[in-house]
Amino acid sequence: MRFKTATSPHILRETGVGQVMRRVLYAMAPGIAALAWFFGWGVLVNLTLATVVALVAETLMLAARGKPLALHLGDCSAVVTAWLLAAALPSLAPWWLTALGVAFAIVVAKHLYGGLGYNPFNPAMVGYVVLLISFPREMSTWPIPHGVGQAHVLGLPETLEIVFGGAGRLVADGLTGATPLDVLRTQLGLGLTVTEIRNSPVFGIVSGSGWEWAALGFLAGGLWLVYIRAADWRIPAGMLGGLAAIATVFYLVDPQRYAPPWFHVWSGAAIFGAFFIATDPVTASTTPRGRLIYGAGIGVLVYVIRAFGGYPDGVAFAVLLMNIAAPTIDLYTQPRVFGARGR
Amino acid sequence: MSVLFPFHGGLKTVRHKIESNQGSILAGPLPRQLTVPLRQHIGAIAKPLVQAGDRVLKGQMIGQADGYISAAVHAPSSGMVTAVESRPVPHPSGLPDACVIIDTDGEERWIERQAVDYRRLHSSEVRGALRNAGVVGLGGAVFPSAVKLNPGGHDKPLDTLILNGAECEPWITCDDRLMRERAAGIVAGLHVMVHLLEPREVLIGIEDDKPDAAAAMTAACAGTGYQVRVVPTRYPSGSVKQLVHLLTGKEIPFDGLPADIGVQCFNVATAHAVHRAIDFGEPVLSRVVTVTGQVAQPGNVEVLLGTPFAALVELCGGYRDGVERLIMGGPMMGFALHDDGVPVTKATNCILAAGAEALPPEQPPMPCIRCGACVEVCPANLLPQQLYWHARAKEFDKAQDYHLFSCIECGCCSTVCPSHIPLVQFYRYAKNEIWAQEKEKQKAELARQRHQARLERLEREQKEREAKLRQKTPPRPVPAAKALEVDQLPIEAAVARARPERGAAPVDEPQPSVAVTADGAERDG
């Protein structure tokens, strides 16, 4: 009797890239729900719009590159990119901003750099940075979170009107305000102390009101990802540890000029970035020690940008800078091979 | 409880032990014809001692160990040798190899068997007896045991002798059954090993999914000082490097041997074979094979070497529906066979008729997303994703920088890869390419050396001729003419080459010129 042959191992786990990516999407759910609660329908409109644009761009690029569509669309990587970017955009961003960012992320940052597995930079963060540099005003126009001030809650029709019609009404109605990190930054520049600044209503229990609940949501999802080993704990641990460490040093030097470490860790995109952005395996370091260093580098850079740079938050830039460094980190952090002498 | 030293990585795999480990070891069939490969071990192929038409007895040596690293091969049953020729053997390459074909007579007539009094004899004689009995590692590596049982070969005294009963591969249960049923025999073989190696301690490693085997071995070891260590079920704890680390905390150097760190490791079945060879004078004629998967009655069978797989499967009730691959060994490291006509050898620990239960559906490979799942499970602590990257790009020197040759091909990385990349296949490919390149290099080096030697020889011969010439004509002290004559040689050679058919080239000394002519022609070619 004759049989077909194949090489060992003959057993394979049935987990696939698609499953890994879908788990990331599930893990984002609590954070996104919190964002939607505090910033309204716009968050979900962004998400939907980004998903559609990403799938269209992905399909076109796969077709152009002659890749099997079903197999690669099924891996859900484009949807993950779309969600990561959408969650980072202002919730009432005009439609073209979202579409442009997502299209750039998929077409240029992902496919033109070689496609899934080959892109050196985190596509979502490339898209974000392109928008941040090109459209700084639109990118910093965040609505005031639910529960702060007098802002009334926008319904879905109003949201759609703003997103697809224009942001004029948004600003005119006084629906937008500075983000907590913005406030901190500008008022520190005016010579106020951290204690004085923190009396502002935009701040909540730990960091920005509203924002801090979204951070909690992303933390919950992120910890789940780590628990099921879909993300390596070393990257978020390294990033939040690095951020906390440098923030602690400056906080101890002058607590009135530098915000406390817990504020930094819980503010802006730190938690979201640590568990969802920095953990993108394609663009991160791959060695166990390297991942700690890679994460710590992002954490330190985020702090440097926030405290001394030109932007209120710096996760996107920090991630891209460390993306460049990842191959070098890998080279110098190879684990000691079993049975290697010395070293 | 004794301390264990867990190794990095590894996997909790599916087990599938229950299918075949319930019944006791069955006696195998006596097939009409046995196909006994002369190469059933690592090292030089055995030299055949019989030819077609010879009558052989059960246990008669039919292939002699050829060199230090080699092992003898015996007739598994009595009968008539009908051929000594190349036949298909179970090997990943699918290439045939030299076999002795024996038509059995059904009488099972033995040679005269004689026990070896190993306590009286010199250890080299004991090892010689093992070599002549064809004892090799029966865990699958089939390395000649006599070589490993020579303590004089290593400058380090032996600290630990390890008996490997881990049996970490899914589906396989032959060692499990052997330990349960023949623990006393295993320990008797262990006594011989201990006598030869004089280790300070003896440890027996058994995975914790075999409590009955561990209990049987513990009972058999009572009063001997040998210690049974139950280790967690984690593939590949049965790999020598991992088991040694697990039990002793020592790492075998990646370019070294267990003996370098004062450890030696044998499979439990090997110990049993030593026992049969020494205490009963029985060479290795059979082994226990697990037959499992899509067969009607999975179980363990003591099979004569040379029995075709098909006969063994038939004994186990034949195939059930849905056999997709026939695997020799386990699903992690075993290899798939084209055909079930190949014979059982000393390396055959398991025949797995793999169906859907053993083989999840194949999925198309995706690009590597550098998730590092492979890094986490690699027991050699390698960076499989980097090895893959470089192997794929044919950057073999880089792959070696990442310690390609420390890879034990355990398959953990391929198993967990979410992109379903056949990683191990890439490493095998890279290793083969590097070996091929090495061989090319060696060939080129050899050719260079030969060329160099030839040039030197020619020069030497020429000088000798000159010396002879000088001796022949001592009364003619004409150095100038002599020099001229020598200078002319190439010219004469050219003339001779140009007109060889005339055969009347005016040459004083035909012999040297012929030599030069031949050289010239050779060089031109």
User: Could you read off the pLDDT of B177-199 as tens digits, one per residue?
Assistant: 999 999 999 999 999 999 999 99
| Partner residue opposite B414 with nearest CB, options A3, A9, A75 | A9
Model confidence pLDDT, tens digit, residues B439-469: 999 999 999 999 999 999 999 999 999 998 8
Query: Nearest C-alpha of chain A: how many angstroms from B398?
Result: 11
Whether residues B165 and B307 fall in one domain: yes
Range of the domain at B458: 366-470
> What residues of chain B, 206 to 235, have a C-beta less than 8 Å from chain A?
none
Model confidence pLDDT, tens digit, residues B128-143: 999 999 999 999 889 9
Which of B93, B245, B332, B366 has the most A C-beta neighbours within 10 Å, making it the best mutation to test the interface with A?
Answer: B366
Model confidence pLDDT, tens digit, residues B350-374: 999 998 877 877 788 999 999 999 9
For residue B33, give the nearest of B63, B90, B77, B64 by alpha carbon.
B77
B361, part of any domain: no
Whether residues B268 and B151 fall in one domain: yes
Q: Under 8 Å CB-to-CB from A244, ≥6 apart: which residues?
A: A261, A262, A264, A265, A299
B205, part of any domain: yes
Residue A327: band (very low, low, confident or very high) from pLDDT cuts 50, 70, 90? very high
Whether residues B35 and B127 fall in one domain: yes
Whether residues B425 and B299 fall in one domain: no
Whether residues B42 and B152 fall in one domain: yes
> What residues of chain B, 468 to 497, have a C-beta less than 8 Å from chain A?
none
Q: Which residues of B touch A72 (CB under 8 A)?
A: 366
- What tokens does A287 get? 């060695």
Does A9 contact B327 at a Cβ distance shorter than 8 Å? no
Q: What is the pLDDT of residue B351?
A: 96
Does B369 contact A335 at a Cβ distance shorter than 8 Å? no
Q: What is the pLDDT of residue B480?
A: 53
How are the residues of chain B apportioned to helix, strand and coil, as percentages rounded to the nearest 5? 40, 20, 45
For β-strands B201-207 and B26-27, DSSP reports them as unpaired
Amino acid occupying residue A62 = L
Whether residues B229 and B159 fall in one domain: yes
Model confidence pLDDT, tens digit, residues B4-52: 999 999 999 888 999 999 999 999 999 999 999 999 999 999 999 999 9
The span from the CA of B268 to the CA of B221, in Å, is 13
Q: What is the pLDDT of residue B364?
A: 87
Q: What is the pLDDT of residue A95?
A: 93
Of residues B309 and A205, more confidence is placed in B309
Does B411 contact A8 at a Cβ distance shorter than 8 Å? yes
Complex prediction ipTM: 0.89
Q: What is the pLDDT of residue A202?
A: 80
B61, part of any domain: yes
| Partner residue opposite B380 with nearest CB, options A6, A16, A337 | A337
Measured in whole angstroms, the distance separating CA A126 from the mean position of its chain's CA atoms is 11
| Partner residue opposite A281 with nearest CB, options B8, B337, B369 | B369
Q: Which residues of A touch B368 (CB under 8 A)?
A: 117
Model confidence pLDDT, tens digit, residues B63-118: 999 989 999 999 999 999 999 999 999 988 888 999 999 999 999 999 999 999 99
Residue A207: band (very low, low, confident or very high) from pLDDT cuts 50, 70, 90? confident
Give Rg (Cα) of chain B: 30
Q: Under 8 Å CB-to-CB from A263, ≥6 apart: which residues?
A: A206, A207, A247
Q: Which CATH number covers residue B242?
A: 3.40.50.11540
B327, part of any domain: yes
Q: What sign for the dihedral angle of Cα B144, B149, B155, B161?
A: positive
Q: What is the pLDDT of residue B520?
A: 40
Q: What is the mean predicted confidence (pLDDT) over A213-232?
A: 95
B372, part of any domain: yes
- b/e per residue, B361-388, with b = 16+ CB within 10 A? eeeeebbbbbbbbbbbbbbbbbbbbbbb
Kindly tell me if the per-residue pLDDT of B491 is higher than 80. Answer: no
Of residues B506 and B398, more confidence is placed in B398
- Judge whether A278 and B366 are in contact, CB under 8 Å: no
Q: What sign for the dihedral angle of Cα B332, B338, B339, B344?
A: negative
Kindly tell me if the per-residue pLDDT of B273 is higher than 60. Answer: yes
Tell me the HSE value of B146 on the side-chain side, using a 13 A CA sphere.
Answer: 24
Of residues A283 and B523, more confidence is placed in A283
- What tokens does A194 get? 């951290």
Whether residues B327 and B383 fall in one domain: no
Of residues B493 and A15, more confidence is placed in A15
Whether residues B420 and B291 fall in one domain: no
Of residues B282 and B1, more confidence is placed in B282
The span from the CA of A182 to the CA of A159, in Å, is 24
Model confidence pLDDT, tens digit, residues A263-291: 999 998 999 999 999 999 999 999 999 99
Q: What is the pLDDT of residue A142?
A: 83
Query: Nearest C-alpha of chain A: how many angstroms from B353?
Result: 10
B113, part of any domain: no
Q: What is the pLDDT of residue A184?
A: 86
Mean pLDDT taken over chain B: 89
- Judge whether B242 and B7 are in contact, CB under 8 Å: yes
Residue A205: band (very low, low, confident or very high) from pLDDT cuts 50, 70, 90? confident
Which of B314, B340, B362, B383 has the most A C-beta neighbours within 10 Å, making it the best mutation to test the interface with A?
Answer: B383
| Partner residue opposite B418 with nearest CB, options A15, A71, A330 | A15
Instruction: Specify the range with the lowest mean pLDDT, choosing from A31-45, A165-179, B332-346, B486-500.
Output: B486-500
Residue A174: band (very low, low, confident or very high) from pLDDT cuts 50, 70, 90? low
What's the angle, vertex CA A176, arms to CA A170 and CA A180, rounded to 5? 165
Q: What is the pLDDT of residue A146?
A: 76
Residue B517: band (very low, low, confident or very high) from pLDDT cuts 50, 70, 90? very low
Of residues A82 and A178, more confidence is placed in A82
Domain boundary among B440, B470, B500: B470
Which of A5, A7, A8 has the most B C-beta neighbours within 10 Å, making it the best mutation to test the interface with B?
Answer: A8
- Judge whether A42 and A87 are in contact, CB under 8 Å: no
| Partner residue opposite B336 with nearest CB, options A6, A16, A118 | A6
Q: What is the mean predicted confidence (pLDDT) over B408-415?
A: 93
Kindly tell me if the per-residue pLDDT of B505 is higher than 50. Answer: no
Kindly tell me if the per-residue pLDDT of A186 is higher than 80. Answer: yes
Residue B479: band (very low, low, confident or very high) from pLDDT cuts 50, 70, 90? low
The backbone torsions φ and ψ at residue B439, rounded to the nearest 5 degrees and listed phi first, read -60, -45
B393, part of any domain: yes
The span from the CA of A138 to the CA of B306, in Å, is 79
Work out how many domains chain B is built from and give that number.
Answer: 2
Does B334 contact A10 at a Cβ distance shorter than 8 Å? yes
The span from the CA of A257 to the CA of A221, in Å, is 33
B261 touches chain A (CB under 8 A): no
Q: What is the mean predicted confidence (pLDDT) over A205-226?
A: 91
**Which chain A residue has its CA at the smallest distance from B244's CA?**
A339
Domain boundary among B325, B350, B375: B350
B386 touches chain A (CB under 8 A): yes
Whether residues B342 and B413 fall in one domain: no
A14 touches chain B (CB under 8 A): yes
Q: What is the pLDDT of residue B485?
A: 52
Instruction: Tell me how many residue pairs between chain A and chain B have CB atoms under 8 A apart.
Output: 180
A190 touches chain B (CB under 8 A): no
Q: Which residue has the tokens 């761009």?
A: A57
3-state DSSP assignment of residue B97: strand
Domain boundary among B350, B375, B398: B350
> What residues of chain B, 96 to 155, have a C-beta less than 8 Å from chain A?
none
Residue B306: band (very low, low, confident or very high) from pLDDT cuts 50, 70, 90? very high
Does A282 contact B416 at a Cβ distance shorter than 8 Å? no
Whether residues B466 and B393 fall in one domain: yes
The span from the CA of B405 to the CA of B493, in Å, is 53
Does B411 contact A9 at a Cβ distance shorter than 8 Å? yes
Whether residues B206 and B345 fall in one domain: yes
Residue B494: band (very low, low, confident or very high) from pLDDT cuts 50, 70, 90? low
B523, part of any domain: no
A256 touches chain B (CB under 8 A): no
Whether residues B246 and B280 fall in one domain: yes
